[in-house]
Chain A
Amino acid sequence: MNRNTRRFAPLRRLLALLHARNLEFVRDRRTLGWNLLMPFGIVFAFAFIFSGPEKPLFKVGVLTPPGVTLAQAKAAHLHPLLGTRFMDFYTPDNADAAVRKLARHQVDLLLDLRPAAAPAHYWVNPDSPKGYITEQLLRLNDRTAVRNTVTGKAVTYVDWVLPGILGLNLMFSSVFGAGYVIVRYRKSGYLRRLRATPLTAFEFLSAQVLSRLLLVMTIATLVFVPLTWIVGLHVAGSGLLLFLLASLGALSLISLGLVVAAYVSSEELAGGLLNLCTWPMMLLSGVWYSLEGASPWLQRIAQGLPLTHLLDGARAIMIDGAGIAEVWPHLAILAGMVLVFLIVSAAGFKWRVE
C-alpha cells in the first residue's frame, strides 16, 4: 500500500461503505419507493388541508330548519348574517352541544333559524369578546332577532390542546412500540424460535398488546397526574371513565401497529407503513385544531381513525364532564377497532421472514 492510499484510507473506507449502503438502498425497491412517496404525500396533504381562502375571523353555529342544509340556507338567504364574509358557519349536531360550546367561548354565536324560532333567535356569551363583535354584526343586519345569553368560563387553547398532545404521545408509543419490536423479532429469527413451541399467534400477540398497554398507560398516568397540578389541567368528568377510554384507545392503537407488524419483515418498510398510519391521525384527529367546519368527507375520514374517538371522548369527559351515556359510542367504536385489528393481525401473522 503506498503512502497516498494509506493517508486517505478512512475516506476510502467511508466511501466504500457509502457506496454499498446506497446500492442496498436503491435495490430495496419497496423502501426506496416509500421514501420517495412519503414526502410527496405529506406535502400534498398539508397543502390540501391548509389551502383555500383566508381563515374566518368568527365562528357561528347555525340551527337550520329540518331538511335544510347550511348551503341551502345560505342560497335561500334565510338570514342576512349568512351572507357575511370571513365568518365560519357550521351546523351543530345538536343545540345543547352548541350552547355548551358557546358557554366555553369555542363558538362566538349560535343562530337559530328553525321555523318555530321565527323571528330568529340567537345565543351569545356576554363574557366573550369575539361574541360581542359577532353580535354587533348580527344586530346591524337584523334588529328583530331575539337575544338569549349563556355564561361560562372560556376553555383556553391549552385546556383544549393538552388532551391532544397526550393522545399523540399515546399514539406514537402504542403504534411504533408494538410494531417495531415484532418486526425486529421476526427479522432476528426469534419469532421462528417461538413458533417451534406450543405458543399460538393469538397468545403471542395478546402478550405483546398487554405488555405495551401496561407500559403506555403507566407512562400516560405518570405524565397526566403531575400535569393536573402543574398546569391546572382539570377533569370535569370521571377520572375512571377517562382511564377506561384511554386504555381502549391505546389498545386500538397498539392493535393497529400489530396489523403492520403482522405482515412486514423489513424494519425500514415497517417504519414507513407505521408513519402512514400515524400521520393522518396527527393531521385529522383533532390534535391541534378542531375539524368542525372542515369538509364533510374529511370529517368522515377522521371518524375512521382511532385517535379521533380517543380525543373526542377524552375532551368530552375532561371539558364537558360527559358520562358514559355520552361517550359510549366512542368506547364502542374503539372496542370494535381493537377486535378488527386483532383479528386481521392474528389471521395474517407471519412467524418468519418469507
Chain B
Amino acid sequence: MQMQPTTNVGPAAATASGPTESAALSTVAASPQVLLEATGLIKHYAKVKAVDGVSLQLYAGTCLGLLGPNGAGKSTTIEMLEGSLPPTAGTIRYRGAPLGDRFRQESGIQFQKTALQEFLTVRETVELFHGLYDHTLPIDEVLRLCALEELEGRDNKKLSGGQLQRLLLAVALVNDPNVLFLDEPTTGLDPQARRAFWELVQGIKARGTTVLLTTHYMDEAYVLCDRIIIMDHGKFIAEGTPRGLIEEHFGEGAAERPGPEGRPHNLEDLFLKLTGRDLRT
C-alpha cells in the first residue's frame, strides 16, 4: 500500500496533549511545501526485501513519525532518506533535486547508535561538527538549545545516556538544519530524560525545523508528530494524523472517550491492531 499525502494530513502544531488538526489544515492550505520526497523506494538485502516500494512526502515545518515493529523496515527507510544507504530502486529528492551536497549542508541527523570521540569535551565535539558546515548556529546557542551549557567542559565518555542524546542532538542541530532526522532518539532513556528530550524537540519544531522521527514509544509519537506513518513488512500500512488515525479505526471521539478497556484509545492500540500482537523476531 503506497500512501500519497493529501492536504488533510499535512503539518499541524503538536502540543503536549496531541496534535491539532485545524492548525494542520490552515498551515497546509497556506504553504504545502514538500521538502523531501521519496518515490517507490525499494531496498533488497541478500535474501530479504527490507523495503518494498514506499513513497512519502515530508512537508516543511512539520514532524512526521515513522512507526513500526522491529524488522518492519523503518530503520532502512530512514537510512535511505538520510542519504546514508543507497536504495535498490526508487528516488529521493530534497527540494526537488537528488540528495547531494546541499542536502548534507541543510540536514541534521541523530542516529540510533553513534559513538563520538571519547576524549573530546562536549564543547569540543560541537566545535568539531561546527567546523564541517558552511552555515551554522553559534556554538553557545546550540549548547543552550540542548541544555548543555553546564556540561560543556565534560568529556563525552563521562556523559549519562540522556546527556549523550542531548549532545547528539546538538551535533545534529549545529548547522541549523532545515530537516532533522531523529532515529529512536529516546531509546534507553528514563522517563524524565525522555520528557526533557521531548521539550527540546518541541523547541526545535517551534523554530520551523522539519523533523522525521522514528520511535517505539507511541506516547512520544503522539506528542511530537503532526503526521505518522505505520510501517510493516517493508510497506506503509497507515498514514495520517495520530488523532485522525485513532478515530478512523476506533470511531469518532475514540481518542478522548473511554473505550472497552475503560480508557480512551491511544496510538498503541492502533499500532497493535494494525501490526498484530505476534512477537517479531
Contacts and interface: CB of A to CB of B under 8 A. Distances in A.
Contacts of A188: 114-115
A74 interface: no
Interface in B103-129: 104-105, 107, 109, 111, 113-117, 129
Nearest to A193: B114
A185 B115 CA distance: 8
B101 interface: yes
A185 B111 CA distance: 15
B105 A192 contact: no
Given A188-B115, A189-B114, A198 B84 contact: no
Contacts of A199: 132
B133 interface: yes
A188 B83 CA distance: 19
Given A198-B104, A198-B105, A193 B134 contact: no
A190 B116 contact: yes
Contact of A193 (B105, B107, B109): B109
Contacts of B104: 196-198
Given A195-B84, A197-B129, A197-B133, A189 B111 contact: yes
Contacts of A194: 132
Nearest to B134: A198
B198 to A, nearest CB: 23
A196 B134 contact: no
Contacts of A351: 84
Contact of B117 (A190, A195, A197, A198): A190
Interface string A151-191: 00000000000000000000000000000000001001110
Contact of A198 (B82, B111, B132, B171): B132
B46 to A, nearest CB: 11
A196 B99 CA distance: 11
A254 to B, nearest CB: 19
A190 B114 contact: yes
Nearest to A196: B109
Interface string A103-122: 00000000000000000000
A352 interface: yes
Interface in A193-221: 193-199
A307 B114 CA distance: 37
Given A193-B109, A193-B111, A197-B104, A352 B129 contact: no
B75 to A, nearest CB: 12
Nearest to B116: A190
A281 to B, nearest CB: 30
Interface in B20-55: none
Contacts of B132: 194, 197-199
A199 B114 CA distance: 17
B45 to A, nearest CB: 10
Contacts of A198: 101, 104-105, 132-134
A206 to B, nearest CB: 14
A192 B133 contact: no
A94 B242 CA distance: 85
Nearest to B117: A190
Contacts of B82: 196
A190 to B, nearest CB: 5
Interface in B58-107: 82-84, 101, 104-105, 107
Interface in A42-90: none
A140 B157 CA distance: 77
Contact of B84 (A185, A190, A196): A196
Contacts of B101: 198
B129 A192 contact: no
A196 B105 contact: no
Contact of A189 (B105, B107, B115): B115
B117 to A, nearest CB: 7
A352 B112 CA distance: 14
Contacts of B84: 192, 195-196, 351-352
B115 A190 contact: yes
B95 to A, nearest CB: 16
A192 B75 CA distance: 14
Interface in A16-55: none
Given A196-B82, A196-B109, 18 more contacts: A185-B115, A188-B115, A189-B114, A189-B115, A190-B114, A193-B111, A193-B114, A193-B116, A196-B104, A196-B107, A197-B104, A197-B129, A198-B101, A198-B104, A198-B134, A199-B132, A351-B84, A352-B84
8 contacts: A189-B111, A189-B113, A189-B114, A189-B115, A192-B111, A196-B107, A196-B111, A197-B129
